Amino acid sequence: MSADLDDIIADFDLIEDWDERYRYLIELGRDLEPLPDEARNDANKVRGCASQVWIETRANDDGSVAFRGDSDAHIVKGLVRLTLAVYSGRTPGEILATDAGTVFERLGLAQHLTPQRSNGVRAMVERIKTDARRLASGG
């Protein structure tokens, strides 16, 4: 796990109240690296999210993959940040082998997200894994 993800998990462990956890998710979203307007395009748009979500994928020289993302909804923006913390900086093979669901379950999010938001998270993860498969095959 990345240090960023470890920090997020540790912070979640300290917060017991779910209203506070949602506020923390919103704060996480505010800390997302800004996504340039030109990256808010159809190619980066995540299908299957009720909110507007964009994820930009970039292969790094060291073989790892970097992601940037954004959303027009505050809590979803936090979920984007959390999802990117799970996957950013990993190789395509590591991304494909990583199950974000275990992190969401560990944080209790699996039980506390609306079905619509859960579907959106699944769509983000599938988009990230699709990009990882493309990169792994040299695309």
Chain centroid offset of residue 133 CA: 17
CATH of the domain at 118: 3.90.1010.10
pLDDT at 82 over 90: yes
pLDDT (mean) for 6-17? 94
Q: What gap in Å lies between CA 32 and CA 79, rounded to an integer?
A: 10
pLDDT above 60 (res 54):
yes
> What pLDDT does residue 138 have?
82
Overall domain count for the chain: 1
Q: What is the pTM of this model?
A: 0.93
Range of the domain at 94: 3-136
Q: Is 19 a catalytic residue?
A: no
Q: With b meaning 16 or more CB within 10 Å and e meaning fewer, what string describes 76-86?
A: bbbbbbbbbbb
pLDDT digits (tens, 9 = 90+) for 35-51: 999 999 999 999 988 89
Q: What is the pLDDT of residue 33?
A: 86
* Predicted confidence (pLDDT) at residue 1 exceeds the cutoff of 60: no
From the candidates 25, 49, 125, 132, give the one annotated as an active-site residue: 49
Q: What is the pLDDT of residues 93-122, one digit of tens each?
A: 999 999 999 999 999 998 899 899 999 999
Q: How far apart are CA 78 and CA 135, in angstroms?
A: 26
Would the pLDDT of 27 be above 80?
Answer: yes
Mean pLDDT, the chain, whole residue set: 93
